[in-house]
Amino acid sequence: MVGMDDVADAIVEHRRLLVVVLLVAIGAVGAGAAQVEDSASLSQFETSSDEAQKLEYVDENFGSSGNTTTAQVVVREDNVLARESLLDQLRFERALVEDESINRTLDDSQAPAGIANVVATAAIREDQAANLTERGRALQADRQRLNETGARLSDALNRTRELQAEYVALNRSHAQGQVDDATYRQRSAAIERNLTATRTDATAGLSANQSEAFGNLTSQARALQSRLAALNASYERGEINESTYRQRSGEVQAQFGEVYAGIDGVLAPDARALQERAAALQEDRAVLQERAENGATPPLPEQIEQLESMNASAVEASVERVLSEGGGARAFALMPTSYEPGSTSADATMVVVTQTTESAVAQGSASARIQDSQTEIQAIARDRLSGDAMVFGAGIIADETNRSMQDTLTVVGPFAVLFLLLVLTIAYRDLLDILLGVFGLALTLLLTFGYMGWTGVAFNQLFVAIPVLLIGLSIDYAIHVFMRHREARGTEGDEGGPAAVAGSMRTALAGVGTALVLVTATTVIGFLSNLTSPVGPIREFGVVSAVGIVGALVVFGALIPAIKVEADAFLEGRGFDRRKRAFGTGGGAFGRLLEVGATAADRAPWAVILLTLLISAGGAYGATEVDTSFAQTDFIAEEPPEWMDELPEQMRPGEYSMRATFEYVNDNFLREDATAEFLFEGEVATGDALQRVNRTGELAAEKGVTVELSNGEADVRSPLTVMRSVAAANETFNATLAASDTDGDGVPDRNVAGVYDALYETAPDQARQYVQREGGEYEALRLTASLRGGASGSAVTTQMDAVESAVSGGDVTVTATGRPIVNEIVQSDLLTTVVESLIITLVVSFVFLMVVYRVAEGSATLGLVTLLPVVFNVSWILGTMYLLDIPFNVLTGMITSLTIGLGVAYSIHLSERFSLELDRSESGSEAMHTAVTGTGGALLGSAATTVGGFGVLVFAILPPLQQFGFITGLTIVYAFLASVFVLPSLLAVWSRHFGPAGAFDADGTGDGGSDGDALAADPIAGGANGRAPAVDEPAGAADSVTQGVDSTGASTAATAAATPTAGARTNGDAVPYATRSVEPTRVYPGGTARVTVALPSASGRVVLREAPSVGTVSLDRVSPEPVERVAADGRVYAVWELDAEDGERAEIEYTLAVPAGLADGETVAFDGELLLPDHAVPVAGPDAAPVTTDVAGAILADGSVDGRDIADAGRHLAAGRLSPEAFERVAHAWLDEHASDAPTDESPPGGPGANGPGASDSRGDARADERRTEGDDD
């Protein structure tokens, strides 16, 4: 079975091939980064629901042909209804039409509409109506005058006939001699004058042609009258009989009729002109009526001309008429909801600009064409309108959302990099390691974004967090690998050189590799738990994050270590010493801080656990009260703080006004996108369907979430409201509508399909908005209720669902939907994501860790204990969210799985290090202190980096990212605190009940007592009570160590060091003591040994001296920070002044370079002394280390193999001084020991105190030779 040692060997041995292969692979995957597209649409967060599908159906099947979107331009000044302000608004609209980039986006069927258009149109309509009335009156007067002229001409013909009859009679009298010539001339002249006067009077006002034509008629009339007179005379004389007379007189009378009819011919031009005028008048009336019915507006230039022609008082009168009580809803929809009807003054109004789009506009998104045009609209509005102007629309929102993502990266990126470099500088203190960390991070990001590009995952608002996430996690991995490598170089016989570099990296990867794999696995589990989310982008975020995390493991667990080995080896080969001290292991403030948790675990673990449980219980309560939010405002950027104006121009964010505009529109206006939609499907061409529509409108209007216009009416639109509006303007449709309403309730109850037909014929654009017709069949109806902008999604959903329930039934299916309702469903799904991902992550992580620890460590409960601090962390972070009023949103909704995924890393690293140190240390307390100070430093560095990485998101422009960065950073802080302050106490309790025998005392304190006098188990005295001997107890002098050893490497003489004797200054009280440990216990000529001297509890002034018998020494670590530390002339000194009254742990660690000339069988002796104001105590523990060139032979010759022997063999194997075959022989011998390894009361070979009371022999750890078992697992 391939173990982590094998993997580490492969990475180090084949590092050059590995570097080439991984760089090529990462480059190939990273090439996809160029294909990543971005998306700001909120519709991508919509889940599959019936309401979402119905809303999509409404968007696709109702409304005008083609796709449209609107921009609402809010105008604010002292009085937007004043003449000049109204003209400004119209001229602003004209500027939009004249702008080419905007004009090509405008909907030809819906011109920009504002209250200025309504007022101007009303004034034009009033003038047009007045003009039509005047023209009608003039036409009637002209028709009357024409009739009068015809009557006058007819009278003139009659008069002409009379005068002609007189003329005929005069002629006959003259011919008969009855009138003399003079009288004839006089009388005939008078008749001629009368004939002329009659014709002249009759043709007054007629044209010359008409006068001439009428003159012809009078001539014909005179001729006919003469004929008739002659016919009468012939009849009177008997010259013709009666029959002939009747015939001839009838002919004459018929001809008279033709003459009279000729009057119409005379007046025909005037009659035709009147007819044309009448027709034109009728046509103009019809056009005006049609425009009124369809809501058409006059051309914009005509509107401007109209208002320019009116004085202020005339405009004010028009405004008052338009906005009076009972005025049209269209006008009030453009005014603030607080407007008082009839008032001629208002401080705000709105202009609605309708634009065409290439496809349906999803919430929060818009094409570049719409974004650019609406941005230009905003610029023109601010330039042309005298007051304040705000633009609210999908294009502006999308523009600001996209820019906010880019600006966030621009602002946050440099801060993240600067913070990263700062932390890495503090942690690494080495330029090469810093560069390697940054290079590895760049490769990780390239790999992640390349995966997004190849798989088609769009970059959205969530993914701004991914670079920051990977920065934190990548450097986390890097710090652990680099710090463990540094520790290995300081402890494994490292004399420098390329070989030492490779061996140390092999040891580091073997030691930390398992933890890194476990961390990666649990973190990936946490993020992949989001696959259960019904929200698509959250699922994608989980997968992409998991890919990036695995990529970080590959880069920092294999590629960067391989490069580092090559780089360090290259530098070492040229004389550069690449050995560095691991962060947090050299004492100082960090070291003292990190030891707090270990000290608490020593002294009062149950108190720590109880306090943790109490705090976690409070957090758990708060977790149940955290709100959930999904609204468009979540993704609208806030105005950047003023200090960002001082940033360099390349980093300075742009202007963001949409949030303020959004809030203002919400509070004061009808929002075009804030509506509840009711979809009616089924048998909709029935009276029952329309009754349900009518009832729906009535109920929706009564709901609190429905907006009330300033005229007191709810803005509810449906097929019925359209029918009533059209009927008011069209008599024909009004008759059809009235005929279909048999009961007079205003709702058609028969011939409904015919009413729909008539509506489509009369007002097709309006009908299409609310009645869906496909192939002549009526498929669905729509009712729209405008909502208050600030209404919550839950309130809208609850109230509109109640309406839906009240009207459902029959052959019609009713569905309440709309953007707020769909958003509320997404909000509910977010909460589902939180709960499900938490449960899945917890269960899978618990099972995974328990199985792994059962297999690797023989203890499933260690996995349980490791994850417990993370569970506490979840309750802490959710409680904090409640206290800070931070809701779950699309980003913070992932915080629970992220908390577990990230937090478990800290616990795993500490548990793994503690488990490893248990096999190396004299006691559980020592193992805990070593683990916390060793791994705790790396944890602190990675926590600081991760917190900084996420913390810089508080500078983000997007509010969800600010919240996500803050709460995630706090999560890391909590995870770190839980791992170094809570987990040690949990591990101490676990060790006492389930861990190796003797690791901690039965009371769980790890030091044999519970107060300041009960100190740690004393290896010097060997007593069970852990107290140092009093001066009156028998004690022997500390003898020197015999230098001879046999061929096995065991000492040939026992150490005579017994209970240490107090020096001359002994005060008779219990004294502190110090213990020494040497690793490896057998040293190799030319190799090194790591010597650790620990004081479990000390206070006041303390001096520690160590003096090996041979070799050179270098001081690696002193904890806590000493007054002085010196390594010179083969001696080591540490001087402390410790403030703690009840004792403080102190420790030094130094490296002994073993001379290469020592022979097999010789011994390196150690002499040490602890100096106190009133005491002088020899350092206890191993006081000699045998020198051997045959490590395996020395171990096997002893006859038994324990855990310390295995540790020795492993270190020599890693340093290249022991072959794998020899190591396996030692391992098999250790396994054979276990079969008969039962606890006994017998003393070890050589009798009690063979190496001196309290001193350990070369295998003296009684705990290490027992395999850890636990009762609940076996």
Query: In terms of Cα–Cα distance, which of 786, 792, 782 is closest to 708?
Result: 786
pLDDT digits (tens, 9 = 90+) for 669-681: 877 778 889 999 9
Indicate the pLDDT class of residue 155, thresholds 50, 70 and 90. Answer: very high
Domains of the chain, CATH where assigned: 1-35+429-582 (1.20.1640.10), 66-111+297-370+386-396 (no CATH), 128-290 (1.20.120), 587-657+830-1008 (1.20.1640.10), 660-824 (no CATH)
Indicate the pLDDT class of residue 1254, thresholds 50, 70 and 90. Answer: very low
Check residue 365 and give its pLDDT. Answer: 62
pLDDT digits (tens, 9 = 90+) for 1138-1166: 876 666 788 999 999 888 878 777 889 99
Handedness of CA 535, 540, 545, 546 (dihedral sign): positive
Across 2-11, 765-774, 1189-1198, which has the greatest mean pLDDT?
A: 765-774
Query: In terms of Cα–Cα distance, which of 799, 465, 877, 833 is closest to 628?
Result: 833
Contact 371, 100 (CB under 8 A): no
pLDDT digits (tens, 9 = 90+) for 236-284: 888 889 899 999 999 999 999 999 999 998 888 888 998 998 998 888 8
| Residue 402 or residue 199, greater confidence | 199
Three-point CA angle 716, 717, 723, nearest 5°: 135
Contact 527, 547 (CB under 8 A): no
| Residue 1072 or residue 1112, greater confidence | 1112
Please write down the HEC assignment for all residues of 250-293. HHHHHHHHHHHHHHHHHHHHHHHHHHHHHHHHHHHHHHHHHHHH
How far is residue 343 from each of residues 76, 85, 385, 670, 676, measured CA to CA in Å?
16, 15, 22, 19, 30
Burial (Cβ within 10 Å: 0-12, 13-18, ≥19) of residue 604 = middle
Read off the pTM.
0.60
List, in sequence order, every beta strand (DSSP E) within 986-1099: 1075-1079, 1088-1098
DSSP letter at 464 equals: G
CB atoms within 10 A of CB 1246: 12
pLDDT digits (tens, 9 = 90+) for 180-212: 989 999 999 999 999 999 989 988 888 899 899
Contact 307, 86 (CB under 8 A): yes
Three-state SS at 113: strand
Contact 836, 843 (CB under 8 A): no
Ramachandran region, residue 1232 (left: φ > 0; alpha: ψ -120 to 50; beta: rest): alpha
Is the pLDDT at 1027 greater than 60, yes or no? no
> What is the average per-residue pLDDT within 985-1013?
60
For residues 475 and 494, give the distance between their C-alpha atoms in angstroms, rounded to a whole number: 26
Indicate the pLDDT class of residue 1064, thresholds 50, 70 and 90. Answer: very low
For residues 407 and 418, give the distance between their C-alpha atoms in angstroms, rounded to a whole number: 17
- Mean residue pLDDT of the chain comes to 79
Least confident of 55-59, 80-84, 1008-1012: 1008-1012
For residues 258 and 1186, give the distance between their C-alpha atoms in angstroms, rounded to a whole number: 156
Indicate the pLDDT class of residue 997, thresholds 50, 70 and 90. Answer: low
Is the pLDDT at 1239 greater than 70, yes or no? no
Check residue 45 and give its pLDDT. Answer: 63
For residues 841 and 899, give the distance between their C-alpha atoms in angstroms, rounded to a whole number: 10
Check residue 1076 and give its pLDDT. Answer: 92
> Residue written as tokens 């002085």?
1124
Output the six-digit token pair for 634: 């979540």
Least confident of 149-158, 570-579, 658-667, 714-723: 570-579
Indicate the pLDDT class of residue 484, thresholds 50, 70 and 90. Answer: confident
Across 460-469, 565-574, 1206-1215, which has the greatest mean pLDDT?
A: 565-574
pLDDT digits (tens, 9 = 90+) for 271-308: 899 899 899 888 888 887 777 666 677 888 999 999 99
Contact 538, 890 (CB under 8 A): yes
Query: In terms of Cα–Cα distance, which of 677, 678, 676 is closest to 808?
Result: 678
Contact 168, 226 (CB under 8 A): yes
DSSP letter at 161 equals: H
- Could you give the percent of the chain with pLDDT greater than 90? 20
Output the six-digit token pair for 847: 């099972």
Is the pLDDT at 423 greater than 70, yes or no? yes
> What is the average per-residue pLDDT within 105-118?
86
For residues 207 and 317, give the distance between their C-alpha atoms in angstroms, rounded to a whole number: 46
* CA end-to-end distance (rounded Å), the chain: 24
Taking the CA atoms of the chain, what radius of gyration do you get in angstroms? 52
Check residue 451 and give its pLDDT. Answer: 93
Is the pLDDT at 1025 greater than 50, yes or no? no
Three-state SS at 75: strand
Contact 1107, 1168 (CB under 8 A): yes
pLDDT digits (tens, 9 = 90+) for 912-921: 888 877 776 6
Ramachandran region, residue 663 (left: φ > 0; alpha: ψ -120 to 50; beta: rest): alpha
Least confident of 217-231, 421-435, 1236-1250: 1236-1250
Output the six-digit token pair for 1207: 């540790």
Is the pLDDT at 1215 greater than 90, yes or no? no
Is the pLDDT at 987 greater than 70, yes or no? yes
| Residue 512 or residue 64, greater confidence | 512
Query: In terms of Cα–Cα distance, which of 641, 714, 678 is closest to 805?
Result: 678
> What is the average per-residue pLDDT within 960-964?
80
How far is residue 1220 from each of residues 501, 502, 998, 1037, 1265, measured CA to CA in Å?
19, 17, 31, 43, 21
Check residue 324 and give its pLDDT. Answer: 83
Read off the amino acid at residue 1168: G
Check residue 951 and give its pLDDT. Answer: 78
How far is residue 3 from each of residues 605, 918, 1073, measured CA to CA in Å?
34, 20, 40
Q: At what angle do helices 536-554 and 498-528 cross, to 10 degrees?
A: 170
Ramachandran region, residue 1118 (left: φ > 0; alpha: ψ -120 to 50; beta: rest): beta
Indicate the pLDDT class of residue 1060, thresholds 50, 70 and 90. Answer: very low
Indicate the pLDDT class of residue 469, thresholds 50, 70 and 90. Answer: confident
| Residue 649 or residue 1251, greater confidence | 649
User: Bridge partners of 708?
Assistant: 714
User: Bridge partners of 113?
Assistant: 352
Check residue 1020 and give its pLDDT. Answer: 33
> Residue written as tokens 């669902």?
801
Least confident of 55-59, 76-80, 415-419: 415-419
Phi, psi (rounded to 5 degrees) for 907? -65, -40
Check residue 692 and give its pLDDT. Answer: 93
The full DSSP string for 835-890 is HHHHHHHHHHHHHHHHHHHHHHHS-HHHHHHHHHHHHHHHHHHHHHHHHTTPPB-T
Long-range own/partner contacts, residues 1031-1038 (CB < 8 A, 24 or more apart): 1031/1062, 1031/1066, 1031/1068, 1032/1068, 1033/1059, 1034/1059, 1035/1059, 1035/1060, 1035/1061, 1036/1061, 1037/1061, 1038/1178
Query: In terms of Cα–Cα distance, which of 401, 459, 398, 366 is closest to 958?
Result: 401
For residues 116 and 584, give the distance between their C-alpha atoms in angstroms, rounded to a whole number: 72
The full DSSP string for 175-208 is HTTSS-HHHHHHHHHHHHHHHHHHHHHHTTT--H
Output the six-digit token pair for 679: 């979809």
> Residue written as tokens 């010539």?
181
> What is the average per-residue pLDDT within 1060-1072?
41
> What is the average per-residue pLDDT within 702-723?
85
Q: Where are the alpha helices (DSSP H) in 429-533?
A: 431-455, 465-489, 498-528
Across 67-71, 193-197, 361-365, 792-796, which has the greatest mean pLDDT?
A: 193-197
Check residue 361 and give its pLDDT. Answer: 55
Check residue 478 and give its pLDDT. Answer: 83
Check residue 639 and give its pLDDT. Answer: 77
Check residue 1244 and give its pLDDT. Answer: 39
- Could you give the percent of the chain with pLDDT greater than 70? 83
pLDDT digits (tens, 9 = 90+) for 6-21: 888 888 888 899 999 9
User: Bridge partners of 679?
Assistant: 782, 815
Check residue 1059 and give its pLDDT. Answer: 36
